[in-house]
Chain A
Amino acid sequence: MSNSATEPRPLTEATPTMGEVIVETRNLSKVYRDFWGRPKVNALKALDLEVRRGEIFGLLGPNGSGKTTTIKLLLGLLFPTSGEALVFGEPATQVNKNERIGYLPEESYLYKFLNAEETLDFYGRLFKMSVKERRERIAHLIDMVGLGWAKRRQLKEYSKGMTRRIGLAQALINDPELIVLDEPTTGLDPIGTREMKDLIIDLREQGKTVLMCSHLLADVQDVCDRIAILHQGDLKELGRVDSLLRVSGITQIQAEGLNAQTQDEIRALIERSGAKLLKIDNPTTTLEDLFLSIVQDSEARPGRRARIEK
């Protein structure tokens, strides 16, 4: 992806919570039945949630919690057993809403016998856009997902990561207002994962609404404004990520350039105030950041070998 960034980006503070409702579920339930119509799995139970314009909303939960079912209901791939799923104010089964939606499925379910250009051209023809506009968009998206070198190869020759990228490109072919991403980082290497997360944040900055589901907590934490945590079909938690993760009663101070004497003074000050000091140490970086900086360094100075500590 062209705008790869290695620095973690802070969440935008001004996330709208009172904007236009783009996605809404009311008492949404889904029961999977067997061949004879007998209830088999109660996949989703009376889900109520709203996703507003311009936010990144994450559906979080372990496998089988109802995340993908919710997304499929919102896309009209499944019919609700009860309740309503509304997208842009219309029932999810309405086809017209799809003009404004981009969807990246859990795995990129694409036609393997087409190449990247043909794939994007085919999906582009399903939307109202001129030939010129379509061609420009295809060229831009192929460039964006970094597949210019393989655009004439059939998808059956693509690696999983490449397929994922072209899948993302097809989801964005219509410049959608709402992007639905099902496990967007599955199958991507750390660089791809970071690029995907950057892209999601970029999309929000372009005013798009993103609804994603994942069971990778770090992904959700990094990009989502609000999350809903599902478990066994029930909504367990809903709110802003920063609010949900905030630990009240514990204060964290981060500073740069503190010497040992100043640190001792701070300790003394905390003790004098009657508070309990839990920890003063140097923070560690994440493995993701370390990996990305090594790769970046390796690309800048090829041939440099690791120094093994004995």
Chain B
Amino acid sequence: MVLEKDILSLSEWLLVNSPVVLFLAILLTALGLLTGFLIAVLRKGPLEAFGIVARNVFEGLSDLTQLSPRRLGAMTWLAVQEAIRRKILIAFAVFVVILLFAGWFLDRSSEDPAQLYISFVLSTSNFLVLVLGIFISTFSLPNDIKNRTVYTIVTKPVRIWEILLGRMLGFTLVGTMLLAMMCGFSYVFVVRGLDHRHNLQQFEAEHDAEDTPSGDLSPTGDKQAAGENQIVTEPEKAKGLASPNTNDGSADGRRTTHDHFHRHSIQQNDDGSLQTDFAMAHQHSVIEENDKFRFGPPIGMLQARVPVAGTLRFKDDAGNDAVKGINVGSEWGYRSYVAGGTLAAAIFTFDNITEERFPRDKYPHGLPLEMTIRVFRTYKGIIDQRIQGSITLKNPDPNVPNEQARQRSTPFIFEPSEFYPKQEAIPWKLKLQRPDGTTDNGDLMKDLVHDGKIEVWIQCEDRQQYFGVARNDVYLRAADRPFWLNFIKSYVSIWCQMFIVICFGVMFSTVLSGPVAMLAAAASLVMGYMSTFVTELVFQQVEGGGPIEALIRVLTQLNLSIDLGFGWLDSVIKTIDWVLLLGMRGITAVLPNFENFATTHIIAPGFDIPTDYVLQHLFMAGAFFILVSVAGYFLFKSREIAA
């Protein structure tokens, strides 16, 4: 799972963000009061202005205390009726049509079709529901004002809060209904779309080497000397009935038919049961009845693994501590690389390793370590041979300052999986490497865990080849959650975005006409999605310059590395751009950063979306709801309805 920003626990997140939110709230309140004061000065003069501002603030608070659930319910009901009778459910029909034809365009032959399917349905739902949110929220109030239906509302004892909140809640209710339908439909689409069965294809001489499943990795290699530890890889849990005559490790060379762009080999487990190997990130259970094989549904395709990440540090080629590994030239600095055949290592320290958390009866194969290791090759090597690495576990006992003298296991040799996580269960009983070079039998929990901590050293064994790692690439698979629950969590995050967009739409519609409010809401959405990019532009972390420079470069097709070439005008353009960028940064600072609501990168590769993460989204939605409601209230209050 690529996770560029760590997901904090809710308490940590609140601790970090509360002061920022508080500061922004105070700043915006001060700015709002100042703006209101200046407008009042212009209209009524400085003497009355202060009283007007004070009275409005007091009335705002007073109106809030007089908010009536009955009236709010009526306004919400009206918004729901309006949305439904304006046939917004057509959006759902559009969604269904898109899904019906999606099968034509989704590449089902991809390495992990589940990722593709999940990303597709989430992106489509997200896009549709946000566009819909903008449409329904921005036209309602301006239409009421234009048609003067609002006259019959504001002449009733309805508070502005109720008009605003009624619309926000009403449209959100309709959006929620729509989203719930999309969620259910998408779930069925993903599950049914990925569901498939195979039939048995009897071994025939024609089966070619290309069909050899990529997930069938042998843990043994040249470097695996006698007495070394062996980790249990996922495919290896099912030991193939390796016939000397077959090179695919399958049960008597038996394999499945080639359906849905792939086939599997059949393997036998320790207990004699059968299953297929991993292909396209899944396997199947196999039941043999009267010499006939029956294949179960795909297993492992739709998962919600709960990863427990550790901390990451590095050793350089000489075995000295390093902040980072080597940059192999990739612009994306997410992964750091360690050089093969040297003392360089990526060291993961995991916390809270206890028998209670990882009971041996639940994890019979050992500590459930999973990893995705990126490989950077400086030479091609032997084309059908994978780069090998080693895992060494160390006891991080601080009482033994010399790391070399600490208790450690003998190295486990493994072959990395580059694009989807592979489980490398570390056996509970393992060989220990004594400082004097001798080996001994040991127990992982007893000998290598200190104070709940354990260190996992990962090294590349092949010279001049490199392993790329990031903190979240290696983790302990603590549990699995139901996929449907994960799917719902993802939709909750989409719901939060929709809610924010609707709140913004309603706020803009209090002072702007429908089309302009729609543009403003759409611009907020785009700016919200580009928040990080704008920040990077301001701090010159990315090339491109400001809006004027970019426009000139687009029109003149001028490369980014070449000066504009307008002489002294260059600096004028850059100064204006800097001011514009600063303004854009200011705007993005108060707009929601919609990138923070993304969950696809977690759910699509099969990871559980932490509940705290979803709660953070709900908190963000709540904070923006308050901010936008207050702004909307005063904007609407300052407006002459009949003017």
| A126 touching B148, Cβ below 8 Å | no
- Kindly list chain B residues whose C-beta atoms are within 8 Å of the C-beta of A109: 147-152
B549 at the interface (CB under 8 A from A): no
Partner of B640, one of A37, A79, A95, A114: A79
B129 → A minimal CB distance (Å)? 23
Say whether B156 contacts A123, CB under 8 Å.
yes
Give chain A nearest CB distance to B250 CB in angstroms: 65
B154 at interface by CB-CB < 8 Å: yes
> Are A125's CB and B148's CB within 8 A?
no
In the complex, B73 has a CB within 8 A of chain A? yes
Residue B157 is within 8 A (CB to CB) of chain A in the complex:
yes
Which residues from B are CB-within-8-Å of A77? 151, 154-155, 640-642
User: What distance in Å separates the Cβ of B143 from its nearest Cβ neighbour in chain A?
Assistant: 10
A127 in the interface (beta carbon within 8 A): yes
Q: Is the CB of A125 within 8 A of B643?
A: no
Residue ID in chain B nearest A91 by CB atoms: B55
CA of A76 to CA of B160 in the docked complex: distance in angstroms? 13
Residues of chain B contacted by A167 (CB below 8 angstroms): 152
B residues near A291, Cβ cutoff 8 Å: none
Is the C-beta of A192 less than 8 angstroms from some C-beta in chain B?
no
Residue A72 CB within 8 A of the other chain: yes
Whether A111 lies near B157 (C-beta < 8 A) is no
- Answer yes or no: B239 CB below 8 A from chain A CBs: no
Q: Which residues of chain A (87-109) have a CB below 8 Å from chain B? A: 95-96, 98-99, 101, 103, 105, 107, 109
Interface residue? A170 (CB, 8 A):
yes
Contact status A95-B152, CB under 8 Å: no
Chain A residues, Cβ within 8 Å of B156: 98, 123, 126-127, 174
Assuming A37-B42, A77-B640, A127-B157, is B82 touching A113 (CB within 8 A)? Answer: yes
Q: Does B478 contact A (CB under 8 A)?
A: no
Which residues of chain B are within 8 angstroms of A125 by Cβ–Cβ distance?
70-71, 73-74, 77
- B32 smallest CB distance to A (angstroms): 19
Known: A95-B158, A95-B159, A126-B157. A113 touches B149 (CB 8 A): no
Give A73's nearest chain B residue, CB to CB.
B642
Asked if B5 is an interface residue, CB under 8 A from chain A, the answer is no
Contact check, A126 vs B640: say whether CB atoms are below 8 A apart.
no
Q: Which of B10-47 contact A (CB under 8 A)?
A: 42
Return the CB mask of B139-176 against A: 1 if under 8 Å, else 0: 00000000111111111111100000000000000000
Would you give the shortest CB distance from B46 to chain A, in whole angstroms? 17
Docked Cα-Cα span, A37 to B42, in Å, equals 10
In the complex, chain A residues whose CB is within 8 Å of the CB of B155 = 75-77, 98, 101, 103, 180
Instruction: Report the contact-size class of chain B (Cβ under 8 Å from the partner).
Output: 20 to 34
Chain B residues contacting A110 (CB-CB under 8 Å) are: 149, 152
B10 nearest CB across to chain A (Å): 38
The distance in angstroms between the C-alpha atoms of A193 and B63, with both chains bound, is: 39
The residue of chain A having its C-beta at the shortest distance from the C-beta of B639 within the complex is: A79
User: Could you tell me which residues of chain B, from 378 to 435, have a CB within 8 Å of some CB in chain A?
Assistant: none
Q: How far is the CB of B42 from chain A (nearest CB, A)?
A: 7
A108 to chain B, nearest CB (A): 8
Residue B202 interfacial (CB < 8 Å): no
Q: Are B158 and A126 in contact (CB under 8 A)?
A: yes
CA distance A110 to B74 in the complex (A): 15
For residue B436, give the distance in angstroms from its CB to the closest CB of chain A.
85
Whether B152 contacts A113 by the Cβ 8 Å rule is no
Q: How far is the CA of A244 from the CA of B346 in the complex (A)?
A: 100
Query: A95 and B63 in contact (CB under 8 A), knowing A109-B148, A109-B149, A113-B85?
Result: yes
Does B640 lie within 8 Å of A103, measured CB to CB? no
A105 partner, pick from B63, B70, B151, beta carbons under 8 A: B151
**Complex CA–CA separation, A167 to B155 (angstroms):** 13
Is the Cβ of A105 less than 8 Å from the Cβ of B643? no
Tell yes or no: A158 within 8 A of B by CB. no
Q: How far is the CA of A77 from the CA of B148 in the complex (A)?
A: 11
Q: Are B81 and A113 in contact (CB under 8 A)?
A: yes
Contact, CB under 8 Å: A105 / B641: no
Select from chain A the residue with minimum beta-carbon distance to B84. A113
Q: Which residues of A contact B81 (CB under 8 A)?
A: 111, 113-114, 118
Interface string of A200-244 (1 = CB under 8 A from B): 000000000000000000000000000000000000000000000
Contact (Cβ within 8 A) A111 B641: no
Chain A residue at smallest Cβ distance from B42? A37
Beta-carbon contacts under 8 Å, B38-71 to A: 42, 63, 70-71
User: 8 closest A-B pairs (Cβ-Cβ)?
Assistant: A125-B74, A77-B642, A113-B85, A109-B148, A126-B156, A103-B155, A98-B157, A109-B149
With A103-B152, A109-B149, A110-B152 given, can you name 18 additional A-B contacts, CB distance below 8 Å? A77-B640, A77-B642, A79-B640, A95-B63, A95-B159, A98-B155, A103-B155, A105-B151, A105-B152, A109-B151, A111-B81, A113-B82, A114-B81, A125-B70, A125-B71, A126-B157, A167-B152, A174-B156
Residues of A within 8 A of B (CB): 32, 37, 72, 75-79, 95-96, 98-99, 101, 103, 105, 107, 109-111, 113-114, 118, 122-123, 125-128, 167, 170, 174, 180
A-B contact pairs, 24 of them (CB 8 A): A75-B151, A75-B155, A77-B151, A77-B154, A79-B640, A95-B157, A101-B155, A103-B152, A107-B148, A109-B147, A109-B148, A109-B149, A110-B152, A111-B78, A113-B81, A113-B86, A125-B73, A125-B77, A126-B153, A127-B156, A127-B157, A167-B152, A170-B152, A174-B156
